[in-house]
Amino acid sequence: MSSPKNDNGPTTHFGYREVPESAKRGLVAEVFHSVADRYDLMNDLMSLGVHRLWKQFALGQSGVRRGQRVLDVAGGTGDMAARFAARVGPEGTVTIADINDSMLAVGRGRLADRGHAGNIEFVQADAENLPFPADYFDRICIAFGLRNVTHQDRALASMFRVLRPGGAALVLEFSKPVFEPLGKAYDAYSFTVLPWLGKTVAQDEGSYRYLAESIRKHPDQETLKTMMEQAGFERVHYFNLSGGIVALHKGYKF
């Protein structure tokens, strides 16, 4: 979501910084060019491996079946796509759409090394303007990517357009802890441990400080639910995971 215009044009947030809308895409790109090679390792370290459980829960809620078409938006290194590919089988397809070519390159290499081939496609694409036909995919997922999009409403509308009637979209994203003590502990962890891990493991403290800040700027559970409804999704509901540190939103197109 963007802020009102100032004298220099519309602005938006990049972490806690206010930047011109036109600059955010490039700034986010720099972050993911920097972290691509160590992205999966850092996810394991930062979440103590719990991100795997969050993604497995999303897979279970997706209802993906053999032969279906699945779109993984901001799919990057292919972590979710590999799970979907096993479900759709050789008759189905999983398309990874990501704007960042460094993340796609890592994804191609890692999925090939793990023997995933034949039913996974890679497309460099902007989530706000997905280059696919309308009513095309059976399921769409975006996992830990929506908060990095400049115009989140446009991305949700684009996802709705390419989802077929009867299909479902899932948004797995960091959210707002539902218990105040948990929120305080999570803040302390985010702004001390995450930047330290970024500096020590990825040699990039700044990018991981941005990622921690971007979580705080992301809409809370009810706000994101409303945004999905405004994009056209129906029967939108969400599941709080790990006390609301992460939430899975699910909506349908009828």
Instruction: Tell me, rounded to whole angstroms, the distance of Cα 177 from its chain centroid.
Output: 18
The answer to whether 98 is a known ligand-binding residue is yes
Strands 234-241 and 120-124: unpaired
192 annotated as belonging to a binding site for a ligand: no
How would you list the strands of the sheet with 3-6, edge to edge? 3-6, 9-14, 17-20
Does 11 carry a binding-site annotation? no
Cα 127 to Cα 146: distance, rounded to the nearest angstrom: 9
- Is 77 annotated in a binding site? The answer is yes
Q: Which residues are annotated as a binding site for S-adenosyl-L-methionine?
A: 77, 98, 126-127
